[in-house]
């Protein structure tokens, strides 16, 4: 399966990224590039809607952590929203739920 990424931005420096599909070693680069483009574009708050993510492996986790660190260096934040239960469990197991702000929905994050 492939990965689909769409982005919605506003004039206040916030971007919402919608990701669906499988985030694995073969698709992570596409996600990294999309996040890097937003960070380099000056967006200080990125909310990632993961409701359509069917699978997330360690390369995907690493890419999310990398984006988080890069944005924190710029006093920004990467937040996650609408994690399916199996993806949320992965964040709990790895204790990344204590690193990322996780919201039940994009609307809740806004």
According to the model, what pLDDT value does residue 74 have? 95
According to the model, what pLDDT value does residue 1 have? 67
Domain that residue 87 falls in: 3-109
Domain harbouring 71, CATH code: 3.30.750.24
Task: List helix spans (H) across the chain.
Answer: 28-40, 58-72, 85-93, 106-109
Reported pTM: 0.94
Residues 30-76 pLDDT 10s: 999 999 999 999 999 999 999 999 999 999 999 999 999 999 999 99
What's the chain's average pLDDT? Answer: 96
Q: What are phi and psi of 103, to 5 degrees?
A: -115, 155
Number of domains in the chain: 1
């Amino acid at each position: 399966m492939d990965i689909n990424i769409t982005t919605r931005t506003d004039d206040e420096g916030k971007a919402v990224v919608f990701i669906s599909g499988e985030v694995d070693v073969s698709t992570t680069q596409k996600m990294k590039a999309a996040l890097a483009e937003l960070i380099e574009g000056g967006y200080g708050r990125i909310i990632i809607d993961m409701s359509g993510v069917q699978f997330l492996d360690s390369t995907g986790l690493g890419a999310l952590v990398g984006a988080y660190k890069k944005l924190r260096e710029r006093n920004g934040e990467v937040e996650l929203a609408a994690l399916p239960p199996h993806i949320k469990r992965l964040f709990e197991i790895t204790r990344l739920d204590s690193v990322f702000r996780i919201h039940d929905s994009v609307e809740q994050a806004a």
